Amino acid sequence: MVDLMAFSARETGNRERQEDYAVHEYIKTPTGLNLYIAIACDGAGGGEAGEMAARLTARSVIDHIEISDETNIPRLLIEAVTSANELVYSELRGEGTSTVSMIAIDLSDPTAPNGRMFSASVGDSYVCLIRDGKLVRLNIDHNLANEYIYAGQMSVQEARRLANAEYPTRIIGVNPEIQVDIGFYAEKDKNFVNSRRAFKIGKLGMQLLEGDTVFVASDGIFRVGQGNRRPYVHKDELLRHALDDDAERAVRALFRYAAQRRPDDNLCMSILMVPSRLRRPVRASAEISWQQRLLLGAITAVLIIVAALAFLSLADTDRSTPEELLAVQGTDPAFIPEPTRASANQIGIQFFAEPNAEDALSVPLFLRRSFTYNDVNYLKIDGLNAQALPDTFLPANVYLQADSSIEILEAQNQPPESITLAVDASSDVFINAGEFSSGGFRVQYIPNDDFRLITRRSECISFKYTTAGVDTLFDVDTLSLTCYTGDADSCNFRSPSSSQPTQMSIGTEYVLDAETGELLGRIEPQYENLTAYYDTVVTLHNNDLWANCLGSYLDPDNDGVSYPDDACPFDLGLAGNRGCAAGVVPPTETSGS
């Protein structure tokens, strides 16, 4: 097991109060994980509340890891930070808040002799790697601009023009719930990694190499001074001292550089160094030796998971300098009203299954942006000004089958609550309207907005595009519209072939020609579609609560045994025989999950 060198420290700078906290610790968990943890927290709040929030966050994370029986490290980090957020919120109720950046190095992974690194962060503190003469930031600031950019919903230029681009979106201690980011936003031969890809890389972890230096730090380390517009600690200084053979000496030297520049912020850093025979003592004024240069060159060839990482600043110039930070700079996180919502025009959160509910990834949801993914996902919509809603408000859940694409045009959560969305061709969408059922949904078809499905007081609806094929009911591309619950006047649709809306019967699937709008038929809801919707809900929630409105439709033979328990869904059967008739041997597997 590799013997890492570590050191943590903090400095007050020119602030009157110390609100940062850094710590490192070796932990052997009850399940046998050997982890080296490094944490940096940047607190904010009145009186002693900021320092208390930072300290509570760090210590709570460590306490949780020490007693957890979780063996999946990314999940362990998410649970630990989530637990810390709940504690800080409970203790301080928003009077004290904190960011957190942390790394956990698995020292027991046989495929990574120098350890495998995982990360978690909330806010604008840093996770960095120094390798091959490059300083690479591995996480991002959680602010409005970056949430847009890394979710693929805005270009860098568009996001930077936002009036509130630097608005912090995730802070520890303001809300009882928090989104924890485990992503690594850096990958070989890529100069941009989006949130979904970063999440996948983060789940795998990064194999450390001989001579690597990794650290977590508050943003004071990289904050730009008012005089020369350069960070309080410069890139060349970080690179030089990353090659030291003494972690404490390296951190002390970096803090001395910062002190000379009179930083207008607290500073904290926790550093971990992988040993190397080429490490040497580095003094504050020393240059990089030829042996150390040799080490930097040699490491390149050994890179396994993350190699030759380009520094992912969002500037259009050299991406390897710390002056050009990976993220749009954040602001002081004190007293932010809603950390899990990016701004007033965020209407909810999009969730992806990766590949099950325990590994769910989420990104912010905004008006007038297209949302799609190559696997099932769902949009949890609570509408504009959601922070004013009571906790009992039920959001709408819009479930998208693979490769479906929609755009949300309106999400009004004040009475009568309503949502307007546009669905693209080849999409398959199931909606549980939640509280929005009172005002209803208005669903438009993007290729021709003369197609409209309009609902009110209907809990669940679906809108499905089907391409003509040998296994379909019709020989043209079709749109299928269904309301599963409601009153006689709850649903209607309008199509290009009719000037008047058509009233819909509840529980009937209306099939229209996708080009002309001609009504082709009224049929029973297709069982395979219903089971797909049910499976999607269960996959994304790990329960079927939001599919309850499909209950009666999932028992087509009315024998009291519903999908997925009914092995003979179209034959009247017995509950004790998995929905099959007496004397019939049920199939070994059902058609769904």
CA distances from 513 to 128, 448, 465, 469 (A): 55, 12, 10, 14
The pLDDT averaged over each successive group of 10 residues in the chain (593 residues) is 93 90 96 97 91 96 96 95 95 94 96 96 96 92 90 84 86 90 89 88 94 95 76 91 95 93 92 94 61 49 38 31 33 32 68 58 76 84 78 90 90 90 94 94 92 93 91 89 94 91 96 94 95 94 92 93 94 93 81 41
Residue 27 lies in a domain: yes
Residue 186 and residue 236 share a domain: yes
- Total tally of structural domains belonging to the chain: 3
Residue 551 and residue 402 share a domain: no
Instruction: Dump the DSSP string for 510-570.
Output: EEEETTT--EEEEEPPPHHHHHHHHHHHHHHHSS-GGGGGGGGGG-TT-SS--TTT-SSTT
Sheet architecture: strand order including 460-466: 361-366, 346-352, 377-381, 396-400, 428-432, 460-466, 478-483, 509-513, 519-523
Query: What's the confidence (pLDDT) of residue 336?
Result: 29
Residue 125 lies in a domain: yes
Residue 590 lies in a domain: no
Residue 503 and residue 548 share a domain: no
Query: What's the confidence (pLDDT) of residue 225?
Result: 72
Query: What's the confidence (pLDDT) of residue 403?
Result: 87
Query: What's the confidence (pLDDT) of residue 360?
Result: 55
H runs (alpha helix) in 41-194: 49-67, 73-92, 144-150, 156-160
Residue 377 and residue 259 share a domain: no
Residue 470 and residue 439 share a domain: yes
Residue 473 lies in a domain: yes
Query: What's the confidence (pLDDT) of residue 414?
Result: 84
Query: What's the confidence (pLDDT) of residue 227?
Result: 63
The H or E element spanning position 1 is none
CA angle, residues 126, 128, 132, in degrees to nearest 5: 160
Query: What's the confidence (pLDDT) of residue 593?
Result: 39
Backbone angles phi, psi at 361, to 5 degrees: -110, 145
Query: What's the confidence (pLDDT) of residue 157?
Result: 87
Average pLDDT score, the chain? 85
Query: What's the confidence (pLDDT) of residue 128?
Result: 95
- Cβ atoms within 10 Å of 115's Cβ, excluding its own: 26
Query: What's the CATH code of the domain at 360?
Result: 2.60.120.1440
Residue 570 lies in a domain: yes
Radius of gyration of the chain (CA): 27
- Cβ atoms within 10 Å of 14's Cβ, excluding its own: 11
Structural domain of residue 157, as residue ranges? 5-300
Torsion of CA 431, 434, 438, 444, to 10 degrees: -20
Query: What's the confidence (pLDDT) of residue 351?
Result: 83
Residue 499 and residue 554 share a domain: no
* CA gap 368, 386 in Å, rounded: 17
Residue 395 lies in a domain: yes
pLDDT digits (tens, 9 = 90+) for 141-194: 999 889 888 888 888 888 888 878 888 889 999 888 888 999 999 988 888 888
Q: What is the DSSP letter of 22?
A: E
Q: Which of 494, 523, 552 is the last residue of a domain?
A: 523
- Report yes or no: 313 and 350 within 8 Å, Cβ to Cβ: no
Query: What's the CATH code of the domain at 51?
Result: 3.60.40.10
Residue 488 and residue 422 share a domain: yes
Residue 502 and residue 360 share a domain: yes
Q: For residue 576, which amino acid is it?
A: G
Residue 235 lies in a domain: yes
Residue 589 lies in a domain: no
Residue 252 and residue 175 share a domain: yes
Closest CA to 74 of 372, 431, 361, 419: 361
Backbone angles phi, psi at 83, to 5 degrees: -65, -40
* Helices 49-67 and 73-92, axial angle in degrees (round to 10): 140
Q: Which of 266, 300, 334 is the last residue of a domain?
A: 300
* CA gap 436, 457 in Å, rounded: 8
Residue 276 and residue 368 share a domain: no
Residue 401 and residue 266 share a domain: no
Residue 27 and residue 68 share a domain: yes
Q: Is 292 helix (H, G, I), strand (E, B) or coil?
A: helix
Q: Take residue 363 and report the two structure tokens written for it.
A: 């990104």
CA angle, residues 177, 38, 8, in degrees to nearest 5: 125
Q: Which of 300, 334, 362 is the last residue of a domain?
A: 300
Query: What's the confidence (pLDDT) of residue 443?
Result: 95
